[in-house]
Structure 1
Amino acid sequence: MFVLNTHPDYNKPLEPTDAETLGENGANTVERFLAHRTNHAETPLHALPALARELGVGALHVKDEGHRLGLGSFKALGGAYAVIRLVLEEAERRLGCPVDITELHSPEVMAVAVTMTFACATDGNHGRSVAQGAELVGAKALIFVHGGVSEARVAAISRFGAEIVRVDGTYDDTVAEAARVAIENGWTIVSDTSWAGYERIPGLVMQGYTAMVREALRRLPEPPTHMFVQAGVGGVAAAVSGHLALTFGDRRPTFTVVDPVRAACIFETARAGHPVKIAHGEPTVMAMLECYDPSLVAWRVLKHVADVFMTVEEDDAIAAMNRLARPSGHDPAIVAGESGGAGLAGLIRAASTPAIRAAVGLDENARILLFNTEGATDPERYAELVGMTPAQVCAKTNRA
């Protein structure tokens, strides 16, 4: 399924708050903070010319966030960044003077951080980032997870010293419970989704994601003409599309938002023209995208700058994982988790469906940029779906 953006705000300027969050100054701040992370390195940008030829497009590049900050996901850029920003802001408030990122580990700032507790809900990746950020500054983290979060993903969060709280229900139920408990206890909730009255911190999380866009644009031989980016609550799609719109203006790439058909809250929101909470049904294999209630801040951006909204099936996502693991020609092998390859799943579906191909404007001159938003964050599940371990896939590229 696909729909074009027909919202009255489409192609109009972003709200000033969103332009400030996702624009050049915000992205500069993110990159400055990253420079002070000891394990920071740009993630790879892979060219896939053989796959581009198969799809009938001019060029295809994949930014591989499976290598980000030791967490295996683009989410590493958001939650930890927000935690660090919030600690420095609280230190400024208590100390009564400006505090720079270079002072993060000073005794004065650490004394503030140790009194702070951060909480969030997660399907796995965002919670890992918040937990890592709390560990970096010496704060406490409580991470709320629902029953569908695998033990492997829970263990990956726990290794940063976070306390895990299991919640019955869906991701959205976990968001509500985390917010309730945090308010009762005076903790700081660091959510990657937003709701009425809670927008700034999710905006900081989204701001963190602009770093991967900046990195990709610096490495590409030419700017992209098209992008397909997956959506859960919409945060990453909004961050990428908003930053590109502010960078390129009328020359921005055609932007397609990709939802799992079983958790298509952004697609249904676009179809209705306003935020829509959808019913919980059968779980999707794209576990990191299994969200049923859109982020209000994300939709506020997407209604202005996203061009097309589409859905992909379960088999599409699994096929994309396998296609990246078993490349043709001299294309590199890429380890993409269940949700990581959803953007490619959207591109393949669009390229093979005449109506979508025409609506998106895909042709032999199209230059596509995708984000592999996660690696094998659950290695056992990855091996089940791909038939190879992540190490075996990586070894294929190393031998090439």
Structure 2
Amino acid sequence: MRNFCVWAIDLAILLTGMRNIIFPTAGQRNPRLPDPTHPTDRPRGPDPELFVMLIANPRASRTAYPNALRRVMNIASADESGAWLAHWPLVGHARTPLRALPDLAARLGVASVSVKDESCRSPLGSFKALGAPIALVRLVKRLRRTQALDPQGLVTGRYAAELADLTVISATDGNHGRALAAAARAIGCGCVIVLHANVDAERERAISAYGARIVRIAGNYDESVVCAAQLAQANGWYVVSDTSYDGYEAIPRDVMQGYGVIAAEAAAQAAEDDGRPFTHVFLQGGVGGLAAGVASYLWERDGVQRPRFVVVEPRQADCLYQSALAGRATKATGSVDSVMAGLACGEASPLAWDFLEMCIDYFMLIDDEDAVQAMRGLAAGSARDVPVVAGESGAAGVAGLDVLMRDPALARQVGLDANARVLAINTEGATAPSVYRHCVGETADAVLARQRDWLSRVAVAA
């Protein structure tokens, strides 16, 4: 398949002038969406086998942030990334909301639950707006270092004519590719995105809307990563990926560094609210980029007083969980077909793992039904909790918290008690609207309308 991939794309370029290229999916299909009418998809009570879903990381350190890691990712570079991105019209200067959910906290028995809502970051609808664009800016600056290109000028298209001969490529589950396509259009370079069989048509259209040229393969995400690397080598393109591999670390580092903006904002917002820091941070898994970018920032900032970090993954896409068991970056053991499409990754990023193995305190697995239940709960809101549009992957952190709180022994192990102040990140909104509607039972627009009403009532009451 891999050799065929390179041959087929070269032929397609010749015949189609690089329009969208669709490869047969060979019988592949999207994962089954949880069905609330199906017995196995209904909300569950305490799970007698829950203990197998959580492991403590014996290598987690509570020392000061190591210099060896600081040389790779640090607060200064993350803050610089945020300053550069503030000039990109699709992101801008505004911080995303840190939404307090006191009713959820009371139900779970913790002091507070705060959700950093990245669905509001930009029209792209996800946290990926912070990763791929900044990596592309840094790549262009390295490639054209003799020209001293201004980052603000890059993201506003000042150098588009000079960069028209540059093409970037990446594999994606959806959000990263969309962000890269949007950034490439803004900067003025070409963009090719490789999609695997389980990326749905809605996400493909969202990427194509930003001018990216699409390559479809019949394999999974990890095979699409290989295909993207081969296409780049064959055509003189540049891979902009959040997944590292041998000889490819600078760009994934830049992607992860951009995610530090989330941590910087959340910490500042918490300090402004009541001055008390978070005790626990729940982070989505995937290949590990988000978790590494956020955790490294907070570790450097807080040192030995850093919060406890919990990484949450789909049960069938457990590459970080398995890496924790093996003591090295490794592959998932499951089918890697979760409804949490953004987390359906089969292999950990080695560079991200260098950070995660030293600071993540717990790794845990959840089922698709857990994520869907969290999506519904966040959408519903309550008298004191604003309704939130959280996509399938976006709700994973809250889902992980809810799963742990169903079992008092697990909650005690992780230190989740009446004094716990929890941060979760809603990494995406309804990036696939029909999937969201199926899972939640209503449209994202309906939830957003209730959100506006809730915020208006709160503003009037204040």
Matching residue of 1:323: 377
d(CA) in 2 for partners of 1:164, 1:373: 24
d(CA) in 2 for partners of 1:265, 1:282: 9
Q: 1:19 aligns with which of 56, 70, 87?
A: 70
Q: 1:377 aligns with which of 431, 439, 442?
A: 431
User: Does the alignment pair 1:3 with 2:60?
Assistant: no
Q: Which AA in structure 2 matches 1:309?
A: F
CA contact (8 A) 1:81 1:208 kept: yes
SS in 1 for 2:316: helix
* Match runs of 1:72-111 below 5 Å: 72-93=125-146, 95=147, 98-104=148-154, 109-111=159-161
d(CA) in 2 for partners of 1:105, 1:370: 29
Q: Which AA in structure 1 matches 2:283?
A: V
d(CA) in 1 for partners of 2:368, 2:318: 12
d(CA) in 2 for partners of 1:105, 1:332: 33
User: Does the alignment pair 1:61 with 2:111?
Assistant: no
Q: 1:173 aligns with which of 223, 240, 251?
A: 223
- TM-superposed CA distance for 1:235, in Å, is 0.7
- TM-superposed CA distance for 1:100, in Å, is 2.6
TM-score between the two structures when normalised by the length of structure 1: 0.95
Q: Which AA in structure 2 matches 1:356?
A: L
d(CA) in 1 for partners of 2:158, 2:394: 40
User: Does the alignment pair 1:347 with 2:347?
Assistant: no
Structure 1 residues 52 and 207 mapped into 2: Cα distance closer, same or farther (>3 Å)? same
- TM-superposed CA distance for 1:10, in Å, is 3.7
* Match runs of 1:384-399 below 5 Å: 384-399=438-453
1:340-388 superposed Cα distances (whole Å, 9 cap, x missing partner): 0000010001111123211110111111111000000000110011001
* Match runs of 1:118-197 below 5 Å: 118-197=168-247
CA contact (8 A) 2:96 2:118 kept: yes
CA contact (8 A) 2:159 2:188 kept: no
Higher Rg: 2
CA contact (8 A) 1:14 1:304 kept: no
d(CA) in 1 for partners of 2:268, 2:217: 42
User: Does the alignment pair 1:32 with 2:32?
Assistant: no
The range that moved more, 251-260 or 217-226, is: 217-226
1:76-108 superposed Cα distances (whole Å, 9 cap, x missing partner): 110011112211222224x3xx33323427998
- TM-superposed CA distance for 1:172, in Å, is 0.4
Q: 2:105 aligns with which of 52, 73, 88?
A: 52
CA contact (8 A) 1:231 1:257 kept: yes
Structure 1 residues 37 and 130 mapped into 2: Cα distance closer, same or farther (>3 Å)? same
SS in 2 for 1:62: strand
- TM-superposed CA distance for 1:16, in Å, is 4.3
Structure 1 residues 116 and 395 mapped into 2: Cα distance closer, same or farther (>3 Å)? same
SS in 1 for 2:144: helix
Structure 1 residues 275 and 218 mapped into 2: Cα distance closer, same or farther (>3 Å)? same
Q: Which AA in structure 1 matches 2:126?
A: S
TM-score between the two structures when normalised by the length of structure 2: 0.83
User: Does the alignment pair 1:250 with 2:304?
Assistant: yes
Matching residue of 2:293: 239
d(CA) in 2 for partners of 1:359, 1:131: 43
d(CA) in 2 for partners of 1:15, 1:118: 33
* Match runs of 1:290-369 below 5 Å: 290-369=344-423
Q: Which AA in structure 2 matches 1:144?
A: V
Structure 1 residues 363 and 280 mapped into 2: Cα distance closer, same or farther (>3 Å)? closer
CA contact (8 A) 1:145 1:165 kept: yes
The range that moved more, 73-82 or 108-117, is: 108-117
Give the share of equivalent positions with the same residue, in percent: 43
Query: RMSD between aligned alpha carbons?
Result: 1.7
Structure 1 residues 91 and 330 mapped into 2: Cα distance closer, same or farther (>3 Å)? same
d(CA) in 2 for partners of 1:162, 1:219: 36
Q: Which AA in structure 2 matches 1:56?
A: G
Matching residue of 2:248: 198
Matching residue of 2:269: 219
User: Does the alignment pair 1:270 with 2:321?
Assistant: no
- TM-superposed CA distance for 1:396, in Å, is 1.3
Number of matched pairs: 396
* Match runs of 1:281-292 below 5 Å: 281=335, 283-292=337-346
The range that moved more, 84-93 or 175-184, is: 84-93
Structure 1 residues 341 and 108 mapped into 2: Cα distance closer, same or farther (>3 Å)? closer
d(CA) in 1 for partners of 2:453, 2:77: 40
d(CA) in 2 for partners of 1:352, 1:106: 48
1:108-130 superposed Cα distances (whole Å, 9 cap, x missing partner): 84343212100000000000011
